[in-house]
Amino acid sequence: MRGPHNIWRLVRTGATFERTGAMREVLDALDAPPALRIGARVLGWPFAWLGMRGDPALPPLTRALTVLGPAYVKFGQILSTRPDVVGDRLARELRVLQDQLPPFPTEEAKRVVEEELGRPVAELFSEFSEPVAAASIAQVHRARLAEDGREVAVKVLRPGIERAFRKDIDAFYFAASLIELLSPASRRLRPSDVVAHFEGVVNGELDLRMESAGAAEFAATTAPDAGFVVPKVEWFLSSRRVMTLGWAEGVPLGEIEALRAAGHDPEALGERVLELFLRHALRDGYFHADLHQGNLKVAPNGDIVAMDFGIMGRLDAYTRRVYAEILYGFIRRDYRRVAEVHFEAGYVPADQDIDEFARALRSVGEPIFGLEASKVSMGRLLAHLFEVTERFGMQTRTELILLQRTMVVVEGVARSLNPQINIWRVAQPIVEEYIRENIGPRAMARDLLRTAQVLSRFGPKLPELAEAALIRGVMPERKAPRRERWRSLGLVGLGAGLTALGVWLGTLL
């Protein structure tokens, strides 16, 4: 599936952008140099007739992304949160991709529900509305349970969506292999690995059982957060292609005038969205990784309600500490420490100069530190960051793609609600709280306690391990190499010592 036949798919993508007029809009938004504009025009114009026409009623870029397929729509959803990159007009036009795409017929949705749940829709629901929201992968219907009258949201996958995504992914793999072949310098960005990561994320979205599990886990981890709500999963009405959640009443976060009319403060909401994301990423290591305006509502009482849990991100404890230390270093303007953390985590090759890297980081951080969001040119900042990563040979970290992508989206959402938001000021108390709790003597004691608890599970085996180590160390005919003997004895001693330390620490913590 990933062979040269995908050349046609890529040619048609470029032709569609040219035919719909999207190519010109993209080049204008990126402030492309004249040479690139002329090149794109010369290469695109002869093939424009091969492009798909799309819906003429839609604006050019929205029209092109919609007709090209769901994977392209996902990209457009990200752009819709970044008016600082594509401009206010394009961001507004692309926002329809979040939840206002053309729906498929309700009768088809009902057929899927009956096939998946094994019972007629009329037996399960006393009411089942026309689509109230439609996105790239699924659409949502408002319904009422026949059993007890509770209102719910029923999410149904689009027919044929799996095949459509598979075609797009195959073309992306082919494009990535071409880029790696023709541009060796691009290999540090690991295009094929990035596409593989995207494929894994999409496959998770296409199984609504996994989304239901993500929603339930997210509800559990965010239970302490006042003013933040995750609708309850109705497990008996959920399956691979259907998911049912409690209905969430509220104003979509993207409708700023409606928020004001309902008595909500958009500026304060912008700060809360950013705070919640940072808290979830740092405190829990589990965060909503598709947090655009279409997936957030504000309830009448002011609670922020999250929806659509198909893409969830997870960070292990070590990565969270690295992430927090980097943020904390930037907040304190300690660029040397930020550089050290990058080297310690392996994000920068060890053969690079740490002082030069710290100086490069200062050139990134100083011009934007303390500025309101409206005064920061995100386009120039991203270009500078790319130059820095290229200069120091930094490779794409696929395990951080979701975090980085979500940071871009969340910051864009916060900016749209509060153009004067100061990102550093909002982040500082949350990062400092995490640092206090997770870095320092108390955190070290907790780590040692956890290590001791793990080793203590092997307590019953310690006598056998000690005996085996002593036999290997003492009996000549069964003697192991000296390094192995010392390693065995050291592990036994370490296990016993940490077990005792764990008992002692347990009395203190």
Number of H helices, E strands in the chain: 24, 10
What the block records as the tokens of 253 is 């976060």
Q: How far apart are alpha carbons 214 and 88 in whole angstroms?
A: 33
The C-alpha R_g of the chain, in whole angstroms, comes to 27
Residue 139 sits at φ, ψ, to 5 deg, of -130, 160
Q: Are 273 and 296 in contact (CB under 8 A)?
A: yes
State the Cα torsion 371-29-71-108 to the nearest 10°: 100
SS (H, E, C) 345-411: CCCCCCCCCHHHHHHHHHHHHCCCCCCCHHHCCHHHHHHHHHHHHHHCCCCCCHHHHHHHHHHHHHH
CB 145 within 8 A of CB 124: yes
Spatial CA neighbour of 432 closest among 275, 319, 267:
275
Q: Calculate the alpha carbon distances from 307 to 99, 127, 212, 296 in Å.
A: 11, 21, 11, 6
Cβ atoms of 26 and 72 closer than 8 Å = no
How far apart are the C-alpha atoms of 374 and 360, rounded to whole Å? 24
Clarify whether 207 is annotated catalytic.
no
Marked catalytic residue, from 170, 290, 303, 351: 290
What are the start-end ranges of the E strands in 230-292? 242-246, 251-252, 286-288
Whether the CB-CB separation of 250 and 262 falls below 8 Å is answered with no
Active site residues: 290
